[in-house]
Amino acid sequence: MGYKVVVVGATGNVGKEMLNILAEREFPVDEIAALASRKSLGTEVSFGDRTLKTQDLDAFDFTGWDIALFAIGSDATKVYAPKAASQGCVVIDNSSLYRYDPEIPLIVPEVNADDVVRYKNKMIIANPNCSTAQMVVALKPLHDRARIKRVVVATYQSVSGTGKEAMDELWNQTKGIFVPGQEVEPKVYPKQIAFNVIPHIDVFLDSGETKEEWKMVAETKKILDPKIKVTATCVRVPVFVGHSEAINIEFEDFLDWEEATDILREAPGVLVVDKREAGGYITPIECVGEYATYVSRIRQDSTIENGLNLWCVSDNLRKGAALNAVQIAEVLGSRCLKKG
């Protein structure tokens, strides 16, 4: 006997990817429903070799359904996630709404899968920010070996993290630069994204950091270790899919780069590509459609006593969102719900 699964926000980038990954990983589905807002009612989406018609989220009854994967914004999630949870369906939420609630587990399965049992608190599990998810997958095995004191990270985040309109804006601006009269003014972003980088993701806080930067700090502490000091600079770059991160790590104990490389090669969810030669590293284009978190450029930081630098790349629509949500569903199923 398998699971009755709902994908909420099935017409969006992440919702579509959730359906793809559920099919690819052969998640034990007995029945599946694709939900969307009324304006998208009846839109067809793919699930493996099947085609599903979206149903109306407003009218849907979650009673009798096991798991709901949510890929809608925080405002809508605030309305529909408690409804699903109250009707006995476990919600795995991709928005930021519940990530900082101490009663709700924030899960990256390679890092803190044991916390999944806490879903019973509110029948909700939170999926972390895409940039946090890939970083903690790389940090966890190193933290287990040498205890991380401090992380300094600069992100290079693709426009798909903002959504389809942002991807369209990058595409149209890029074309417009080469075609006189077809220039496209920025609407999604405050400045031109084509052939540019923007050091601004989400809103600015009083501290001077953006909310995206604050999220990386708060979520790393909640998922990995509250004692770790984290500082982030988050930058939007003209890449369609795939987030990259330059990570500087300070440890309590010395960790040689060669040992770190060996540890990462054995770590779940990590693939090391690090040849120390031209092209011997991963870039965002090569990670698109892949499950792994890739690590390259592993090297000692000689400016501090116990430091390492590394480069981390992942498909943000997959590991940063849809894949992580499906992996949470897999852990929830195997450890708690025990069907399939």
Q: Please enumerate in sequence order all residues whose Cβ is within 8 A of that of 262, keeping only pairs 6 or more positions apart, or say none.
A: none
CA nearest to 116, candidates 339, 292, 324? 324
Tens digit of each residue's pLDDT (9 = 90 or more) over 305-326: 999 999 999 999 999 899 999 9
C-alpha span between 126 and 105 (Å, rounded): 6
Tens digit of each residue's pLDDT (9 = 90 or more) over 268-310: 999 999 999 999 999 999 999 999 999 999 999 999 999 999 9
pLDDT at 101 over 80: yes
Q: Which residues pair with 90 in a beta bridge?
A: 67
C-alpha span between 274 and 263 (Å, rounded): 13
- The residue annotated as part of the active site, out of 143, 243, 287, 312, is 243
Q: Can you say which residues are annotated as belonging to the binding site for NADP(+)?
A: 11-14, 39-40, 160-161, 316
- Residue located via tokens 């000692």: 300
Q: How confident is the model at residue 340 (pLDDT cuts 50, 70, 90)?
A: low
DSSP state of 26: T
Which pLDDT score, from 0 to 100, does residue 339 have? 83
In this prediction, residues 136-147 reach a mean pLDDT of 98
**200 belongs to the catalytic site:** no
CA atoms within 13 Å, Cβ hemisphere of 263: 17
- The residue annotated as part of the active site, out of 89, 130, 287, 312, is 130
Q: Can you say which residues are annotated as belonging to the binding site for substrate?
A: 157, 236
**143 belongs to the catalytic site:** no
Q: Please enumerate in sequence order all residues whose Cβ is within 8 A of that of 263, keeping only pairs 6 or more positions apart, or say none.
A: 141, 142, 145
pTM: 0.94
